[in-house]
A and B are shown apart, each in its own frame.
Chain A
Amino acid sequence: MNPLIAKSRPASSALALAKVSGNPSWLGLVGAAVCVIWLLVALFGPWLAPHPVGEVISDNIFEGFSLAHPFGTDYLGRDMLSRVLVGARFTVGLSLVAALLASFFGTGCALLSVVSPKWLDEIISRIMDAFISIPSKMLALIMVSAFGSSVTLLICTAVISYIPGSFRVARSMAVNIEALEYVQVARTRGEGKLYVACREILPNMLNPVLTDLGLRFGYIVLLLSGMSFLGLGVQPPDADLGSLVRENIGGLNQGAMAIIIPALAIGTLTIGVNLLIDYLSSRRGRRSGGH
């Protein structure tokens, strides 16, 4: 496969595109603030919830804003604020775990393929190419149809879907770094492959790898909440933000807050992450570009 083709795949283009946008830097700070808030909600949400998550506390279903229930009530008359606070833990937690694992394995494979002989590099790259050609939603759908939906399966699916993208980004950087003089010097000095990969190459690509991790986190949030929205993700009685949208879809004709709030919650989370990444990568672009 020639470099032109490799370059034109969607996984790598998204990251490249993030670098050319011209959003002002205060938007980056807004993004960072939103991310921190969601992380705090994921950590402490269940303790902040004013009502037990499954308890029916009101006779009125699809209630609007009120002092007692700031986000209204859902299709059974449960408190929406509590449900969003608890649901956020599923959405953020699952996606974060999956993104960390995908990035870890993707970067690991990339380092392995760069320091290992050519044939192994070729095999790993080919397998990754094949897996990148299955759209993540399709993979998730067949996995769920074969094994049934569970939290473990959702994490596994997301990890498998996003390893190839992370591998690609990491490998393209690692190949460049591997050709630099200090790596050659370390080789000549007689350092082992593990040392070269972990101490020479990895520290110098850590920033872009972390940016990529954030990008994958955003994708995984969208994937998992999409699956939950279809009823094939997190299963009742647990509910993530996507399931909250699904279970209240009956209130759409009445314009219920119970649908809008969780959908907006997912939107703010992913937009926040993207703004932060956009800011970080444009700042790095300026620094390395020199002008």
Chain B
Amino acid sequence: MNSHTLWLICRRLGAGVVTLLIVSMVVFAITAVLPGDAAQQSLGQFATPEQVAALRLKLGLDQPGVLRYLHWLMNLLTGDMGQSVSNAMPVGELMAGRVPNTLMLAGATALVSVPLALILGIGSAMGRGGRIDSCLSFITLAMVAVPEFLVATLAVLIFAVNLGWLSALSYATDITSPLQFLRTYALPVMTLCCVIVAQMARMTRAAVIDQLDSPYVEMARLKGVSPIRIVLRHALPNAIGPIANAIALSLSYLLGGVVIVETIFNYPGIASLMVDAVTNRDMALVQACTMLFCAAYLALVLLADLCAILSNPRLRNQ
């Protein structure tokens, strides 16, 4: 690693922080201009104007927007995310209880989907134009286009209703045995995997094909190297960067999918907490959850970009 790469990485990190700041401004701007402010909402319809005014003063709602934004941002950075109105609990506490569940779900999904997608992507790149490749190409195209709740409902119908292997739409709080773990996580993870594996396999295939078309692979082929060795020893090391990029980008699609999947399977994660907060218009909770999701999304995109920078020798050694 030389100074040029370091400079590129620093610049990218800086751009990431600036973007996150802008995102926080947008989130605050949308949630703070809401009709009927927080004071009116928490006191209910029958509050006297004096009561509302007093609470407004107490909550600091009479201050200009910029000040309120800075105040909010400072609190967010120090971990004080305010009080959830509908749950009568600090937002931080509420979220801390849910985050591990979502991370567990995301982790399990990544663990299953990444190897599967790599095998599918590399396999279809090797047999390019063949029957398996065109079959995969159609399946991935279809999976990318299908809504998560279609996959989820079909999976429930097949595995829970018809075959009776798994319990539908229920969540066991105490997971003691591996079998119980499997029964709880199989359907949500399967649903999330369907969408992500398709995306990842498509991008992996493109990255490997890109390498297979290059002159050095043709040279190896002319030398009589076996196809498997060409892919594993020659093409793959050079495609690692784009593939890592593809994995990080695909995982960022998890964020959208997890909202639907947690809702349909009653999974007590951070996304279902957010959907409840939106339904109850619990603004402090919505703001905090949105910032968490946007930060996670930005982090994954950032990771993808860093993989691309670090793996590209032309950028690294300029």
Contacts and interface: CB of A to CB of B under 8 A. Distances in A.
A129 interface: yes
B153 A245 contact: yes
A234 to B, nearest CB: 15
Interface string B278-293: 1101010011001001
A133 B260 contact: no
Interface residues of B, number: 75
Contacts of B129: 22
B134 A10 contact: no
A226 B156 contact: no
A5 B304 CA distance: 9
A255 B298 CA distance: 39
Interface in A119-178: 129-131, 133-138, 141-147
B315 A133 contact: no
Contacts of B22: 130, 133
A259 to B, nearest CB: 5
A20 B145 contact: no
A13 interface: yes
Interface string A209-249: 00000000010001001100111100000000010010001
Contacts of A24: 134
Given A136-B256, A145-B286, A245-B153, A270 B19 contact: no
Interface size class of A (residues with CB under 8 A): 35 or more
A278 interface: yes
A276 B134 CA distance: 16
B245 to A, nearest CB: 6
B52 interface: no
Given A20-B206, A267-B145, A271-B146, A130 B26 contact: yes
Given A9-B301, A129-B19, A252-B169, A22 B149 contact: no
Given A138-B294, A230-B263, A252-B157, A22 B141 contact: no
Contacts, number: 180
B249 A10 contact: yes
B142 interface: yes
A130 B19 contact: yes
Contact of A5 (B23, B206, B256, B308): B308
Say whether chain A's binding surface is mostly helix, strand, loop, or mixed. helix
Nearest to B32: A146
Contacts of A8: 245, 249, 304-305, 308
A249 B260 CA distance: 13
Given A141-B275, A145-B31, A229-B149, A274 B144 contact: yes
A133 B149 contact: no
A275 interface: yes
Given A17-B203, A135-B293, A142 B138 contact: no
Contacts of B160: 253
Contacts of A229: 147, 149, 260, 263
A155 to B, nearest CB: 16
A145 B283 contact: yes
A138 B33 contact: no
B144 to A, nearest CB: 7
B121 to A, nearest CB: 11
Contact of B150 (A4, A129, A263, A275): A263
Nearest to A263: B150
Nearest to B21: A130
B147 A135 contact: no
B277 interface: yes
B298 A23 contact: no
Contacts of B225: none
Contact of B301 (A20, A133, A249, A274): A133
Contacts of B259: 137, 141, 226, 230
Nearest to B12: A5
A184 to B, nearest CB: 30
B147 A266 contact: yes
Contacts of A225: 147
Contacts of B149: 226, 229, 242, 245, 263
Given A8-B305, A222-B147, A133 B294 contact: yes
Interface in B192-228: 202-203, 205-206, 209
Contact of B147 (A5, A147, A270, A274): A270
B137 interface: yes
26 contacts: A1-B15, A5-B12, A10-B249, A10-B301, A13-B203, A13-B249, A17-B202, A17-B206, A20-B206, A21-B140, A21-B202, A134-B26, A134-B294, A135-B256, A137-B256, A141-B274, A142-B30, A142-B278, A142-B286, A145-B283, A229-B147, A252-B161, A260-B157, A263-B149, A266-B147, A271-B142
Interface of B: 8, 12, 15, 19-20, 22-23, 26-27, 30-31, 33-35, 128-129, 133-134, 137-138, 140-142, 144-150, 153-154, 156-157, 160-162, 168-169, 202-203, 205-206, 209, 245, 249, 252-253, 255-256, 259-260, 263-264, 274-275, 277-279, 281, 283, 286-287, 290, 293-294, 297-298, 301, 304-305, 308-309, 312, 315
Given A13-B203, A133-B298, A137-B255, 12 more contacts: A21-B140, A130-B19, A133-B297, A134-B297, A135-B255, A222-B145, A222-B147, A226-B256, A230-B263, A252-B169, A253-B161, A254-B161
